[in-house]
Structures are given as C-alpha cells and as structure tokens.
Amino acid sequence: MPRRFLVTGGAGYVGSHLVAALGDRGDTPVVLDNFSIGHRGAVPAGVQLIEADLADPVAVDAALAQGPWDAVFHFAALSQVGESMRDPLRYLMENAGNGMRLIDACVRHRVPRFVLSSTAALFNLPGDGPIPENAPIDPQSAYGESKWAIERALRWASQVHGLRYACLRYFNAAGADPQGRLGEDHRPETHLMPLAIDAALGRRPPLTVFGTDYPTRDGTCVRDYIHVTDLAAAHLLAVEAMARGDVRWNLGNGAGYSVMEVLQAVERVTGRAVPHVLSDRRAGDASSLVASAEPALRAGWQPRYAALDDIVRTAFLWRQAHPNGYGS
C-alpha cells in the first residue's frame, strides 16, 4: 500500500531528491516548504505542496493535522557553515527552534517516525581517519551545534513519547539526479563542487581555495563527497531500519578528497581548467571529515555513485542543461 510522508524542505537540494525517490517507489510525498531556499521548479507536478513556515506554530500544527503520516522527513534548515559563523544565534534560533517545534507537533499528532537531515559538522576529530557515528560530538560551527540540539531533542522525544527517529549525518552531499530531473541550485552558492563547475564553465570568477595549511596531504581540506541520490536511498532504508530501534548513521563513501583533488576531478570531467586562487582558511571548517558508514552499510545501504568523477559528472550534466538552475 502506498505510504504518505511529509517532507519539510522538500523543494531544497537533498529534500527534492528524496521526494523523487519516494515518488519513483510509488509512495506519496507531501512537500512542506516556504521557498526561502527551495525552488518551486524542484517540486514535481502532482505532488501536494503545503506552503508554510516552520517558525509559525499554527501553520506547523495545521500541516501535521493533514496526516496520518507514516513518517516526517525534516530537511528545512539553514545549512551554510560559513554563514553560521557570522550569525550564530540566527542559526541556533531558526534551525533548533524550528526543529523542536516540528518534533513537538509530531508528538501531538502521533507521527510514528521522524528522520532528521543531520550533518558531519557535528564532528572534529584530529587526523583523517573515518568517523564512526559514536565519535565525540564537537561542532566547530553554530550550524553543527544547531543540528546537535535537534538530535538531542529527538532523544528525549523518543525516550518520553516513543517517537522513533533516525539522525542521518551527511558528509558532503553532491551531484544531481542521474535522470537529470533535479540538481543543486543554492542562492548564493557556497559549495565547492557547483562553484568549481561554474568556474570551469567560465560562468563565475576563479574559485577561491579556502586554506592551504591544513594538516592534510596537500594542505587543503579533505571531505567525503556522497551522491545526493545515494543519500535519498539511505533515507528510504532508515525508515525500515527504525522498526528495529532508533538510528544514527554517518553517510559518506568512506573516501576523502582534498579541495585540490575535487578541482582535478572537475577538470577531468569537464575537459576544462578550473581557474582558482589560493586564500586563507574559512571560519568553521574542520580539516578532514570522512565517514565510517558501517551501520548503514550493514543495514543494506549500497551507494551506486561512489566514484568522485561520477558525482561530478551528474552535477556537470545538470548544470550544462540548466545554466540558470531552476531559473530566476
């Protein structure tokens, strides 16, 4: 029987890829978005849309009242590490406040399962080893701190009210729908891969490389890039895994690439040079973030687009076909 899911931030980058995956599977996603970041063009025709702001408790309550829901997926959030270091209280108030308001409404409306879009920005381990889900929590940014606050709230909602939850800590989401239906379009764009692709296409000024003195193999930050469609698949699996208990999964490919290595991949895939300039560190950046995704892999998660060049290729093809993203 088709199941019905509420997806907050379903018009955003990762959320829209989950909405597509749910639709492909025959389930019924309902998108809740205020379009402050998401795009109307990312919501497929025929998908029910609730235009609402999670800061508005009356609107949140009205949305949850449209259940029953098999689960709520919570993506809607501010998500820029750098911005969160310029305006930390905004991140804490909006992300944590909205998350807790939504959890509270889920408890009152007897939603059985809650899946949180969480982040690798919870961690800051020395060295470049893979990070397991039980590694010490030590956010280096207000963004990471805001997601940790929601994870903690979920723990209490589970313990006291029986709300089952999954915290999915993405490492670096990247790439675009392999069928070309969806892609990455942040305004402003701050992420490495789309900026490097646009720099290669001559659509932006040279890319600024933030920091060349990190304790990594070439001095630039190392990240674990995970295809957004593989992330969507992990969400579907998490809903099944929650039948066996609450879930905390780190989601990445277990392979780290430096900023310079990403630029080289973009050059291989596009066949063009990526103009760039070297610069100082960006506040809030950890040196190396690589996932150990063992629990998700044991539960049957099988990333299909693990090769860095495949991730870059899907992002490049979408950008070529959509030079203005989802439009003005």
Residues with a known catalytic role: 143
How is the beta sheet containing 48-51 ordered, strand by strand? Answer: 48-51, 28-33, 4-8, 71-74, 113-119, 164-170, 247-251
Q: Where are the alpha helices (DSSP H) in 74-141?
A: 81-86, 88-91, 97-108
Using CB atoms within 10 Å of the CB of residue 139, give its burial: 0 to 12 exposed, 13 to 18 middle, 19+ buried: buried
Out of 13, 210, 301, 316, the only residue in the binding site for ligand UFG (CB under 6 A) is: 210
**Cα(225)–Cα(251) distance, integer angstroms:** 10
Out of 16, 34, 79, 140, the only residue in the binding site for ligand UFG (CB under 6 A) is: 79
Identify residues 81-100 at the interface with ligand UFG (CB under 6 A).
81
- Under the binding rule (CB under 6 A), the answer on residue 207 touching ligand UFG is yes
Out of 289, 290, 308, 311, the only residue in the binding site for ligand UFG (CB under 6 A) is: 289
Out of 5, 165, 171, 301, the only residue in the binding site for ligand UFG (CB under 6 A) is: 171
**Cα(199)–Cα(23) distance, integer angstroms:** 34
**CB 325 → ligand UFG: shortest distance, Å?**
16
State the pairing for strand pair 222-223/257-258: antiparallel
- Under the binding rule (CB under 6 A), the answer on residue 119 touching ligand UFG is yes
- Under the binding rule (CB under 6 A), the answer on residue 117 touching ligand UFG is no
- Under the binding rule (CB under 6 A), the answer on residue 282 touching ligand UFG is yes
- Under the binding rule (CB under 6 A), the answer on residue 291 touching ligand UFG is no
318 phi and psi, to 5 degrees?
A: -65, -40
Using CB atoms within 10 Å of the CB of residue 134, give its burial: 0 to 12 exposed, 13 to 18 middle, 19+ buried: exposed
Out of 74, 164, 223, 248, the only residue in the binding site for ligand UFG (CB under 6 A) is: 223
**Cα(292)–Cα(300) distance, integer angstroms:** 14
- Under the binding rule (CB under 6 A), the answer on residue 74 touching ligand UFG is no
Identify residues 10-49 at the interface with ligand UFG (CB under 6 A).
none
**Residue range at the interface with ligand UFG (CB under 6 A); choices 23-31, 281-289, 302-310, 314-322:** 281-289
- Under the binding rule (CB under 6 A), the answer on residue 191 touching ligand UFG is yes
Q: Where are the alpha helices (DSSP H) in 201-273?
A: 228-241, 259-270
* Residues engaged in binding ligand UFG (CB under 6 A): 79, 81, 119-121, 171-172, 190-192, 195, 207-210, 221, 223, 259, 282, 285, 289
